[in-house]
A and B are shown apart, each in its own frame.
Chain A
Amino acid sequence: MLIWIIFAVMTGAAIFALLWPLSHGRVAALADVADATSLYRAQLGEIDRDLARRLIGPAEAEAARTEAARRLLRASGEDAGPTGETESSLRRRRASSALALSCVPLLALLVYGAYGSPGNPDQPLSARLQADPSRQDFALSLSRIETHLANNPSDAKGWSVIAPVYLRQGRYDDAASAFAAAIRHGEVNSEALAGLGEARTLAAGGVVTASARESFAEAVRLDPANARARFFLAIGKEQDGDAPAAITALRELLGMADADAPWSATVRQRLERLEAETAGRAITSLAPVDQQAAIRAMVDGLAERLKVGGGTLPEWTRLIRSQTVLGDRAAALSALATARERLTDTAALAELDALAGELSLKETAP
């Protein structure tokens, strides 16, 4: 609001300045006769001075004098134009005032309205930096820490704060050097080492390089429970083609985790994929008959596991599908029935109905 009052005052002052001469202008003709005559008079004097300084010959001076005098006569004889306050001069003033009153605010508002942002306050950097840190925007805090670190490059604490931020932002190289700086300046702990390893891994496009592996190994040495380091070490084994070792490592990791550890889902996913791949690779290398047997063994294993208890909708779906494909309709039907008992929520039941319809599993009426 205040800004619009200021704008209004500015506009008012500008218009006032324009209207001032219209209200106070002397009623006089606009002619330059006086200017011209005084100039030519001065010029006559100048010719005499030039003559005295021998800058012009006597005959030429005479001719120049005649010229100047002729111009002087002509200038003083020129029409001065109409004078006096007349009807039309009043009309002209009103028209000019109207122009000033309309054109100035209109143009200003039009242009400012199109390009201005009256609602945005100034944001000088010093004020932004002094603002309550909790209300500061994230990027600014980051740049503040960066400036601080540029001036105090041996602040290990600072490096260890900024490094994970870089990692989250995808600036892996920066993250790696920040972790390295933190470690170099005394922040030697398992977390930092694991972070350094992860940054190196991600900077290398997801490959656990030798240097990353060193960091992870060091991290695990300092804290054997460091899940991140162990996870990446397992990935490294997988990348080396040592799938069984990777699976073992991941199983170990899952085994030592609390059930509700936030990362356990990731690890389990990875483990399952790895197991499936390993199994898949194993199966395709068998003879067709043996393949069939192997698959059946897997399906039976799954059925066994689900019979004991638990099992999610996808698992049940996979089981039912597999049994149908293998031609074991009775087993599929019994699995379907068990699933209906175990999975009680309606969405899951609807899924199962749809599945039954798709596989045309006719059930005996309950």
Chain B
Amino acid sequence: MIVEIGHFALALALGVAVVQALVPLWGVARHDRALAGVGSAAAVTCFLLVALSFGALVASYARSDFSVENVVANSHSTQPLIYKFTSVWGNHEGSMLLWVLILTLFGALVAMSRRSLPVRLRAGTLAAQGMVTVAFLAFTLLTSNPFRRMLPAPPEGQDLNPILQDLGLAIHPPLLYVGYVGFSITYAFAVAALIDGRIDAVWARAVRPWTLLAWVFLTLGIAMGSYWAYYELGWGGWWFWDPVENASLMPWLAGTALIHSTVVMEKRDSLKVWTILLAILTFSLSLLGTFIVRSGVLTSVHSFASDPSRGLFILGILIFFVGGSLALFAWRAPLLRQGGLFAPVSREGALVVNNVFIATACATVFIGTLYPLVLEMVTGDKISVGPPFFNATFIPVLVPLLLVLPLGQSLAWKRGDLLGAAQRNAMAFGIAIVVALAAIALTRGGPVLAPLGIGLGVFLVAGAAFDLGERIVARASGWPAMLSRAKGLPRSTWGAAFAHAGVGLSVIGIAAAAWSTEAIGVLKPGERLTSGRYTIVLESILPRSGPNFRAEVARFQIFSGNRELGPLEAGKRVYTARAMPTTEAGIHTDGLSQAYVALGEPQGDGAIAVRLYDKPLILLIWIGAIVMAFGGALSLTDRRFRLAAPRRAAPQPVAAQPAE
């Protein structure tokens, strides 16, 4: 009964979403508050229904209800409970339900944020969100129904793809989806603004926290996915320029640009056309990612649905939402009023530079991702656009951006002083040069670009720190004054500093990857293998069995020089239900560096092929991403967003502010 209730709730949600898409829009057009109010009620109802439905599917998985086709295809009764839960979204149908759940969750959040959103904007946004919800609910119900029954029920399920049987599946997709789908709300904001014709600083302020929220989750989701690929796929890489990874990178880049352009729009009421376009493009790129992953256009770990009819449906959704919103944009954008002015050299100008570079970077990824797909479709030729292309296009675009980043963040609004900004960053630049030179001296004969990359990363971190420091220290005397200045600094300033420092940390981690070393050997127990700073000694190879897999585990002792770091295990598993092998890399974390051991094939005479990597400073890549996300979250708690209670609040009395 639970299954059927969940199914019916999903069908009911479709009807409610149709009402959500139509009625508030009419209310906005006719200035009718009662009709607009239906949008909020519908959004909350829709969320509750989808949540009920999702709960029903989770219950079916937890109870191994093999009368549900989806449960049969993706779970097994011997799975540990945690993987029974995560199996829910480890497949096409279930992940679509998660997608819709998050879509409606954002709708409900917008509906409930009564204080921070203008009513007309809220109604319009909910209507646009309702349309997206209708499309995806229909897609889920009609082509990817997770509640399809299978009778008679088979005695056992087919188990989940072993690569997905990992804690990563519990974390990576939900984070990523909150990011992807979160950008649907900025899209809905843009559509609502275009329909209503009011696009101004109010809009920018309203949309900014939602953009930040989505961006924070997308950042964490991508970082988590990258780390998961790093330790699960067993070849020690953390980014492969795989089309599916690019599909998540593109909305992230566009979203990053959007975060920066909304700042200008909020402050100066300018860059409106561009910001609206970015809001539309960001979600369009999310949709494109969905299309690439689920249409069967390509095969990868992620492409669990390769049904052409589904691809066609998503293509229809893509064309309707992207084409429709761009048409609306083309019609409405020329009507926008001119905003405030600013000089080329100013904080605003720097943010425009940021947008130009990031948009270009996004375009290179777009071309590198889609060109091979389109070429294959048109001519049938298979070409592979791999790291060389992206290294040659993406990095040259990003490096200048990162070089001017610290300058931009220390420029004044409206009209800045480039020389002053340069002077303020001279210290950070000096530190960066010293570090880079030290790196060159220490690793003589190594890769040339790596020390420069390290220097760039240090420049970013130091620049962010000095920028904060200067604002706290300037003109202040004594600790109490400095502390009060630090407290008085807006959270968004802290957030920006952290996010930029996070970028720096990631850059350091990426640059240091150039020093990573790899060694391959065939070891018998007692033999050793050395790579870079690390040496491993194979102790024994033993069989082991888990709840739904058998494993062969190799035990090593790991040494750094003569210092013993402890035991390390690496393994290969065979999951019995699908007879599929996976590698379980053995990773030893040593400060910020890692030693990475992956097992190859056994050689018959008791020996086994082993690969050992020395990955210096690799953890910084993901730590940087987490720091970035932390900065975004910090910015999200800024006073502006907490106190944007428009109807009740009196304007903040200026005199009451502490002198910062």
Contacts and interface: CB of A to CB of B under 8 A. Distances in A.
Nearest to B134: A107
A144 B156 CA distance: 10
A72 to B, nearest CB: 10
A140 B65 contact: no
A31 B18 CA distance: 24
A96 B35 CA distance: 8
Interface string B1-17: 11111011101101110
A128 B157 CA distance: 14
A41 to B, nearest CB: 4
Contacts of B202: 32, 35-36, 39, 75
A30 B32 contact: yes
B118 A22 contact: no
A111 B53 CA distance: 15
Contact of B413 (A21, A50, A121, A142): A50
Nearest to B475: A54
Contacts of A28: 33
A93 interface: yes
A2 B5 CA distance: 11
B156 to A, nearest CB: 5
Interface stretch (B161-169, B453-461, B648-656): B648-656
Given A71-B269, A140-B155, A30 B340 contact: no
Contacts of A89: 30, 32, 34
Interface in A9-32: 10-11, 14, 17-18, 20-22, 25-32
A112 B119 contact: no
Given A31-B120, A32-B202, A115 B141 contact: yes
A244 interface: no
Contacts of B535: none
A118 interface: yes
Interface residues on A, range: 35 or more
A106 interface: yes
B12 A11 contact: yes
Interface in A26-72: 26-32, 34-36, 38-45, 48-50, 52-57, 59-61, 63-64, 67, 71
Nearest to B65: A124
B571 to A, nearest CB: 21
Contacts of B374: none
Interface stretch (B36-44, B219-227, B377-385, B627-635): B36-44
Given A57-B414, A104-B16, A112-B8, A38 B64 contact: no
A57 B346 CA distance: 11
Interface string A78-121: 00011100001100110010011001111111011001111011
A89 to B, nearest CB: 6
Given A35-B647, A53-B471, A122-B60, A14 B654 contact: no
Interface stretch (B144-152, B170-178, B235-243, B274-282): B144-152
Nearest to A82: B31
A313 to B, nearest CB: 44
Interface string A125-165: 11010000000010110111001000000000000000000
B23 A60 contact: no
Contacts of A121: 1
Contacts of B646: 32, 34-35, 38-39
A30 B15 contact: no
Contacts of A122: 1-3, 60, 63, 65, 67
B19 interface: yes
B153 interface: yes
Interface string B109-123: 000000000111101
A100 B19 contact: yes
B49 interface: yes
B167 to A, nearest CB: 24
Interface in B392-434: 412-415
A29 B11 contact: no
Contacts of A11: 12
Interface in A249-303: none
B528 to A, nearest CB: 37
A121 B471 CA distance: 66
B22 A107 contact: no
B539 interface: no
Given A71-B200, A106-B15, A115 B145 contact: yes
Contacts of B267: 43
A71 B77 contact: no
A7 interface: yes
A75 B269 CA distance: 13
Dominant SS among interface residues on chain A: helix
Contact of A18 (B45, B198, B413): B45
A169 interface: no
Contacts of B471: 53
B153 A111 contact: no
B121 A67 contact: no
Q: Which of B3, B23, B26, B142 has the most CB of A within 10 A?
A: B23
Interface in B446-503: 471, 474
B66 A111 contact: no
B588 interface: no
Contacts of A128: 153
Given A14-B12, A21-B34, A30 B27 contact: yes
A143 B155 contact: yes
Q: Which of A31, A83, A100 has the most CB of B within 10 A?
A: A100
Nearest to B652: A45
Nearest to A109: B11
A274 to B, nearest CB: 42
B332 interface: no
A360 interface: no
A347 interface: no
A60 B413 contact: yes
B154 interface: yes
A63 B18 CA distance: 47
B205 interface: yes
Nearest to A80: B31
Contacts of A116: 4, 7-8, 11, 147
A92 B32 contact: yes
B518 interface: no
Nearest to B154: A139
Contacts of B185: none
Q: Which of A64, A89, A123 has the most CB of B within 10 A?
A: A123
Interface string B50-69: 00000000001001111100
Contacts of A115: 7, 11, 141, 145, 147-148
B63 A111 contact: no
B565 interface: no
A99 B31 contact: no
A124 B68 CA distance: 10
B213 interface: no
A365 interface: no
A308 interface: no
Given A39-B201, A71-B201, A96 B23 contact: yes
Contacts of A26: 33-34
B38 A18 contact: yes
A85 to B, nearest CB: 9
Q: Which of A29, A53, A121 has the most CB of B within 10 A?
A: A53
B587 interface: no
B651 to A, nearest CB: 4
Nearest to A70: B340
A34 B19 contact: no
A105 B34 CA distance: 22
B413 A64 contact: yes
Contacts of A55: 347, 412-413
Given A39-B644, A108-B11, A125-B77, 10 more contacts: A21-B38, A21-B40, A22-B35, A26-B33, A29-B33, A112-B7, A115-B141, A117-B4, A122-B65, A137-B152
10 contacts: A14-B15, A30-B33, A35-B118, A57-B412, A64-B340, A96-B38, A120-B149, A122-B3, A128-B153, A143-B155
Closest 5 CB pairs of A and B: A25-B34, A60-B414, A81-B31, A124-B63, A21-B37
